[in-house]
Structure 1
Amino acid sequence: MIAAAPTIGQRIDAQYGALSRQEQRAADFILDHLGDLAVYNATELAKLSGVSKATVSRLFRRLGFSDSAEVREHARSLRSQGAPLGGIGAAAGTPSALAAHAVQENENLQKLLAGLDDGRLDAAARLIAGAGEVVLIGLRNSYPLALHLRQQLAQARDRVRLAPVPGQSLGEDIAALGSRDVVVLVGFRRRPSGFGLIMQTLRERGVPVILISDSSARRHAEGAAYWLECPVDSVSAFDSYAAAMSLVNLLASGVLGVDVRDGRTRIASITGMYDALDELETPW
């Protein structure tokens, strides 16, 4: 396998000690503003960092880039892959930054809802409700979402489990699955390299898959029974999963709504078990 080329941040870290004071000043600005790097040219970077344009151009060459256009393309590529970009500082909590964050979160939510108005959410909920067994798979950054969805679905129906169990492999968890079961596969960007093979294996075994992911998983969507696309765009360094959590809420609620009477009976039984085991804190 060909190793991925180092990011601009990694290149700066590797050469920082050998840079001149002025180059270090420009490098510091770049590291603090990686999220904006895709829109700055060399002149703008020089002005903002307080160095000459020649210093910025020299720094880019030291880092292995031919010019600022190549740097901008590199930054766009990193962001599209979900790589964390952007500095961490007090500005993240300023009113303007918080307002921009709110705008982006709302845009993500609106995009999510617009993509669900064709009935696919209800169809996916019915598929989950009627399955023999439901297996939730979420690897790397998708794991917390799969875990939360499993917790919600377990309130609505039985035979819901998370795979793989931490520290274990996936094979034994999907070996017995068939066409009457359902796998909910959560796969947001920066997925592990074997993600496509998981999709292929489930498809070959005839196991219906509900794929929850951002647009970067489009090439995997063809093998899914339903693809629930969820944007994770963010104005900050990291992807945002706020819309994804809303999707989890909607999907689990949809499953519960397929058979409300059975769902209420199950919830009452679970609540009784909580009380019997004294598992939850009382609200007063």
Structure 2
Amino acid sequence: MKDHSFLSRVRKILPELHPAERKLGELVCDFPGEIASYSASELANLAEVSNATVTRFVRRLGYTSYEEARRHARLEKDSGSRLYLNTVKTEAPHSPSVYAQSDIKNIERTTSSLDESDIDALTQALLTAQKVSVIGFRAGAPLAQYLQWQLLQVIENTVMLPNSGQTMGENLAALSAKDIVVVFGLRRRISQFDLILKIISNSAAKLVVISDESMPIFTAADWHFRCSTLSSGPLFSHVGVMALINLITNRTIDAAGDLGRKRLESIEYLNEFIGEL
């Protein structure tokens, strides 16, 4: 079972377990974060089973010890799996104000970590780039699309990668020193994410990374902005990412000056002429 995730191991053996072990297995399936956080004795008390049951359970999973199982679970927790956010003793709050307070903190943490000179340098680089490419996977995909749409108001050659029906390699092969690539790296990142960053950083193009706080600074990037994504519920909050996008796009439009305003005017005129809006 060495190549299986921690949870897939539990789910595979669950039907074969004796009642006490199955009780423990069902708890772990519902709240996998507990094994990453608690000792063997604490987990036994939580599931209301014996310590011996915990020992037999982890051996059935293919681990030599509880600590080995916990290390494996922690790796999955650190990778950003939302399943690991729920706990037995806590429930997601129902009050909208609790979520609002959490989101406000995410925006404050994200914006307070920004260096204004970095934003200024990035906006100038965006405006002088030959092409701006935006890449996002999973949770990052709609955020990348939103950034691309907003930048398109002032930067004509702004595209999402990969293009429909094309491979990532076909798009990355054409990067030049006049290009900028913005990559969203939000949990959980795809397995090829690091390789894609390496390929872009080895090209002549400028690289912008927008990630959550769990990702270490990618030193090869020209800019790396880390956003706070903590949440009161089981899903990550991306309001901090949206705040960063809002800042970047508005500053870019402002910096574009008359040329930017003329493009915006042309877009609005055509929208009205065609009758799309």
Per the normalisation by structure 1, the TM-score is 0.83
Deviates more, 1:163-172 or 1:124-133: 163-172
Counterpart residue number, 2:9: 11
Match of 2:156 among 155, 158, 168: 158
1:209-220 matched pairs, under 5 angstroms: 209-215=207-213, 217-218=215-216
Q: Is the 8 A contact 1:121 1:228 kept in 2?
A: no
Aligned length: 275
Is it true that 1:183 corresponds to 2:205 in the alignment?
A: no
Counterpart residue number, 2:128: 130
Residues 1:97 and 1:73: Cα distance change in structure 2 (over 3 Å): farther
Query: What's the offset of the Cα at 1:115?
Result: 2.1
Seq. identity, %: 31
Is it true that 1:274 corresponds to 2:251 in the alignment?
A: no
Query: What's the offset of the Cα at 1:26?
Result: 1.4
Unaligned runs of 5+ in 1: none
* AA aligned opposite 2:83: L
Deviates more, 1:202-211 or 1:148-157: 202-211
Query: What's the offset of the Cα at 1:72?
Result: 3.1
* AA aligned opposite 2:224: W
* AA aligned opposite 1:38: A
Deviates more, 1:129-138 or 1:10-19: 129-138
Q: Is the 8 A contact 1:82 1:238 kept in 2?
A: no
Counterpart residue number, 1:256: 253
Match of 1:110 among 89, 103, 108: 108
Query: What's the offset of the Cα at 1:47?
Result: 2.3
Per the normalisation by structure 2, the TM-score is 0.84
Match of 2:62 among 61, 64, 72: 64
Residues 1:200 and 1:17: Cα distance change in structure 2 (over 3 Å): closer
Is it true that 1:228 corresponds to 2:195 in the alignment?
A: no
3-state DSSP class of the match of 1:218? coil
* AA aligned opposite 2:120: D
Task: Write the deviation string for residues 240-272 of structure 1: whole angstroms up to 9, x where unpaired.
Answer: 323222211111112112124333332222222
Q: Is the 8 A contact 2:180 2:206 kept in 1?
A: yes
RMSD over aligned Cα atoms: 2.9
Deviates more, 1:150-159 or 1:226-235: 226-235
Task: Write the deviation string for residues 188-232 of structure 1: whole angstroms up to 9, x where unpaired.
Answer: 34434443443343344311111212355436x222211112233
